[in-house]
Amino acid sequence: MNYTDVLYEVSEGIATITINRPDRLNCFRGRTIEELIHAFKQAWADKSAGCVILTAAGTKAFCVGGDQKEMQEKGSYGTSENGLWEIDDLHMVIRNIPKPVICAVNGYAIGGGHVIHVICDVTVAADHAKFGQAGPRVGSFDAGWGSAYLARIVGEKRAREIWFFCQQYDAQTALQWGLVNRVVPADKLMEEARALAGQAVALSPTALKFLKHAFNADSAHIFGQVKMAADGLASFVNSEEANEGRTAFLEKRKPDFSRFR
């Protein structure tokens, strides 16, 4: 597959996957998701790769979720070559790949971009990174991993706060909340992520594989709500209510949801 939205490279046993849409703050469209899935599967199949780093191009954003401009213009984020919108499959391949996945957050991790970092095994954040969910402001929600798994990580009260108020949290707060593992100066981000990845690469791949499956087992039941959440969202995104959120964002004004109460 020829990548347009993603970069992929393997060196010293570490596969690095980079979301490469910096001019759109690395937000994703259907093609981005399809390429990310393909890249994760490459890393899965590659016996020379013992660990994966997921990061993004530039210094402003890791990923700011779904491409709202594409959604506004085309009525969808666009599909993959096979015609499907495969965000759930991306989440599953990050969980199921039997190798540690380290997310190196190089800026904003917002909306669906925040969910992606939440699902990764470990997160290293640049000190200027910002974290948060935006769905209820722009006409979206993740009632699957993005809420239920998030609550396991930061606790119910904080997860509800993150979704119910759509604020942004700095890297130190994210560290204090257990949302990220480490915070480093921005210019040391990849160095730190690669140092951690190198330590994993030196360990027993079979032990790591079984440990990852073991950690996953305890939250696997969340998958039961993921498809329902995705179908609920699919039926919501083109509603008048969701459209008000998206349009307000693109018009740089506050949304007015009062008529939908």
Ligand X SMILES: CC(C)(COP(=O)(O)OP(=O)(O)OC[C@H]1O[C@@H](n2cnc3c(N)ncnc32)[C@H](O)[C@@H]1OP(=O)(O)O)[C@@H](O)C(=O)NCCC(=O)NCCSC(=O)CCC(=O)c1ccccc1C(=O)O
Q: In the complex, which residues of this chain contact ligand X (CB under 6 A)?
A: 24-25, 27, 64-69, 85, 87, 108, 110-112, 115, 134-135, 138, 140, 142, 144, 146, 230, 233, 249
d(CA 101, CA 197): 9
The minimum distance between CB 109 and ligand X, in angstroms, equals 9
Between 92 and 211, CB nearer to ligand X: 92
- Residue 75, marked binder: no
The HSE-up count of residue 20 (CA atoms within 13 Å, CB side) is 13
Using N-to-C axis directions, what is the helix angle for 87-96 and 223-236, rounded to 10°? 160
The minimum distance between CB 115 and ligand X, in angstroms, equals 5
Q: Report CA dihedral (11, 126, 147, 213) to the nearest 10 degrees.
A: 30
- Residue 74, marked binder: no
Between 84 and 195, CB nearer to ligand X: 84
The minimum distance between CB 260 and ligand X, in angstroms, equals 17
Integer-rounded Cα radius of gyration of the chain: 18
Q: Is 17 left (phi over 0), alpha (psi -120 to 50) or beta?
A: beta
The minimum distance between CB 251 and ligand X, in angstroms, equals 10
Q: Is 192 left (phi over 0), alpha (psi -120 to 50) or beta?
A: alpha
- Residue 3, marked binder: no
Between 213 and 227, CB nearer to ligand X: 227
What sign does the dihedral 199-151-41-57 (CA atoms) show?
Answer: negative
- Residue 109, marked binder: yes
The minimum distance between CB 144 and ligand X, in angstroms, equals 6
- Residue 65, marked binder: yes
φ and ψ at residue 125, rounded to 5 degrees: -115, 140
Q: Do 14 and 53 meet the contact criterion of CB atoms below 8 Å apart?
A: yes
Which two structure tokens, joined as six digits, stand for 145?
């991993």
Between 66 and 78, CB nearer to ligand X: 66
Q: What is the number of the residue whose Cβ is closest to ligand X?
A: 65
- Residue 157, marked binder: no
- Residue 252, marked binder: yes
- Residue 14, marked binder: no
Q: To 5 degrees, how large is the angle CA 10–CA 150–CA 87?
A: 55
Between 40 and 108, CB nearer to ligand X: 108
The minimum distance between CB 246 and ligand X, in angstroms, equals 8
Between 252 and 261, CB nearer to ligand X: 252
Annotated binding site for substrate: 64-68, 77, 108-112, 140, 252
Annotated binding site: 64-68, 77, 108-112, 140, 252
